[in-house]
């Protein structure tokens, strides 16, 4: 292997100093390095392939140093060993201020994906960072870009449900209402992902569950599990009860329709699916309506 020249060694040493300065948030030293060695913007760490721009986001830099680093000759779409680019880190750390600066650059690829197929939109959704999602959607980010995690092909809206973020889910549904019926490669619906969510905000998860129809709450994945069963398996009992109530509400509505439109025999089959107390209430309602059945 040919010997590396001293210039290359000096640039790499300058990158190490710059990275350390960013980690310590010593932006005075960072600025000095960039003044003397502007070419370090294009360099990356040998093992991780991390650039200084990535390090700046990771270490919570200021807008000023980010603007310094993003200047040419900087490769804003460079990816590290795991396929992460600057835009992925910004989405993860919820740096709306830095995203505004990044999106000013014409060459930025906001649909670039990691080695696992994750877009910045997907990462923001999985973190519940709704403002990042709004900014990316406004720029035309692909909300149908599925990841490759265990071949499940999850969309950003699946990840938003998994994060238990109502705001993220609503933003994506406003962009495309048909996403409410999105199913991954193994038959899991949005309700299945919500059922697995570890989010502690039960009220927010209930609000998301209210978006689903009774049919969606009863839909089985390829392994035969309904969202209610999935929630129970993960011991998420509150959301399991909420989803079960949603299913009952849907069946209750079906029964109300049956009260007015069908005969006793067909109605009885539907009533069998409901708890006794609810079935009795419906029968009482039918009696008070004084409907004549054929």
Task: State the Cα–Cα distance between residues 84 and 48, nearest whole angstrom.
Answer: 10
Ramachandran sector of residue 128 (left: φ over 0; alpha: ψ -120 to 50; beta: rest)? left
Local structure of 58: helix, strand or coil? helix
pTM of the full structure: 0.82
**Angle subtended by helix axes 120-127 and 86-93, to nearest 10:** 20
Task: State the Cα–Cα distance between residues 179 and 211, nearest whole angstrom.
Answer: 12
pLDDT at 278: 64
Q: Can you read off the two tokens belonging to residue 202?
A: 């039960």
Ramachandran sector of residue 262 (left: φ over 0; alpha: ψ -120 to 50; beta: rest)? beta
The answer to whether the Cα torsion of 166, 172, 176, 179 is positive or negative is negative
Local structure of 51: helix, strand or coil? strand
pLDDT at 72: 78
Task: State the Cα–Cα distance between residues 293 and 286, nearest whole angstrom.
Answer: 10
- Residues of the chain short of pLDDT 50, as ranges, are 1-5, 7, 290-294
pLDDT at 150: 78
Q: Which CATH code is given to the segment(s) 84-185?
A: 1.25.40.20
**Residue 83 DSSP one-character state:** S
Task: State the Cα–Cα distance between residues 127 and 130, nearest whole angstrom.
Answer: 9
pLDDT at 58: 96
For residue 51, list its beta bridge partners.
Answer: 44
């Amino acid at each position: 292997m040919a010997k590396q020249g001293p210039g290359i060694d000096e640039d790499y040493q300058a990158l190490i100093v710059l990275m350390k300065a960013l980690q310590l948030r010593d932006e005075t030293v960072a600025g000095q390095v960039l003044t003397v060695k502007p070419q370090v913007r294009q360099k990356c760490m040998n093992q991780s392939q991390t650039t200084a721009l990535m390090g700046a986001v990771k270490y919570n830099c200021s807008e000023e140093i980010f603007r310094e680093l993003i200047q040419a000759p900087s490769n804003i779409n460079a990816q590290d060993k795991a396929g992460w680019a600057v835009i992925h880190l910004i989405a993860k750390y919820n740096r709306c201020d830095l995203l505004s600066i990044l999106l000013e650059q014409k060459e930025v690829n906001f649909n670039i994906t990691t080695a696992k197929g994750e877009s910045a939109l997907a990462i923001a959704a999985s973190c519940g960072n709704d403002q990042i999602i709004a900014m990316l959607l406004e720029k035309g980010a692909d909300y149908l870009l599925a990841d490759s995690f265990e071949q499940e092909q999850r969309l950003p809206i699946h990840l938003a449900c998994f994060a238990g973020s109502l705001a993220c889910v609503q933003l994506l549904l406003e962009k495309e209402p048909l996403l409410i019926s999105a199913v991954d490669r193994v038959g899991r619906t949005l309700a299945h992902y919500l059922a697995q969510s570890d989010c502690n905000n039960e009220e927010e998860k209930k609000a998301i569950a209210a978006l689903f129809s009774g049919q969606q709450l009863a839909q089985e994945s390829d392994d035969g599990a309904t969202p209610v069963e999935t929630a129970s398996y993960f011991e998420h009992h509150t959301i399991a009860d909420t989803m079960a109530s949603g299913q009952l509400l849907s069946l209750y509505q079906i029964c109300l329709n049956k009260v007015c439109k069908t005969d006793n025999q067909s109605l009885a089959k539907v009533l069998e699916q409901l708890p006794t107390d609810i079935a009795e209430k419906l029968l009482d309602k039918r009696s008070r309506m004084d409907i004549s059945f054929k």
